[in-house]
Amino acid sequence: QSVLTQPPSASGTPGQRVTISCSGSSSNIGSNYVYWYQQLPGTAPKLLIYRNNQRPSGVPDRFSGSKSGTSASLAISGLRSEDEADYYCAAWDDSLSGPVVFGGGTKLTVL
Amino acid sequence: QVQLQESGPGLVKPSETLSLTCTVSGGSVSSGSYYWSWIRQPPGKGLEWIGYIYYSGSTNYNPSLKSRVTISVDTSKNQFSLKLSSVTAADTAVYYCARADTATLFDYWGQGTLVTVSS
């Protein structure tokens, strides 16, 4: 049982916009930054979004992050087949669960 | 460019101790405000943070694993290591080492190494 809650799956067609949610609590998302990782099949996770909505260099601006209260979202616009991957949210946590917690992951399928 | 590489046995017997090493290149484990971390992923499942060692040498572990985990650093070899004792089949996973800081969290990852616990 992950501390952060994500939907297990999401899907969309090429060109669509999809969003993936991540729900937490006051000790993690509510008081700390949210991070998003993309894990392509058979590879290590890759940092996609840091500090809620910042993109590392090289990450397309099709990917965007937002946070409100104890929830966060990852949006992918102009969906491409290569976006098919698992996506994880993470946050620092100030409670006994921490200090780092992950979501359970969302498998994105491009139809 | 920072690179991390895990190494260690791919098969460990139940009740024994899992030992892995992460070799860092392109950066120093003893400089900068970095948290040198271990994360694991059971087959077909999500990511689980195991713990980290701060550049100063202080450590912090996942409460659910704390009694069995030790993370240490060897600055002379620019490596940090993980020991997980009394392993069971539930500890079978791909183990990743990664670098974290307060701004970007886990920005660099190793490729991961599969450790299977089986007799």
pLDDT in tens, A21-62: 999 999 999 999 999 999 999 999 999 999 999 999 999 999
pLDDT tens track for A73-99: 999 999 999 999 999 999 999 887 678
Burial A58-88 (b: 16+ CB within 10 A, else e): ebeeebbbebeebbbbbebeebeeebbbbbb
The predicted structure's pLDDT at residue A97: 66
Tell me, yes or no, if A99 comes closer than 8 A to chain B by beta carbon: yes
User: SS3 for A72?
Assistant: strand
The single residue listed with the structure tokens 């991390």 is B4
Nearest to B111 among A35, A44, A88 (CB): A44
Q: What is the pLDDT of residues B64-115, one digit of tens each?
A: 999 999 999 999 999 999 999 999 999 999 999 999 988 888 999 999 999 9
- CB pairs < 8 Å spanning A and B: 55
Mutation for testing the A interface, residue in B1, B5, B49, B95 having most A CBs under 10 Å: B49
Amino acid (1-letter code) at residue B28: S
Q: Which amino acid is at B10?
A: G
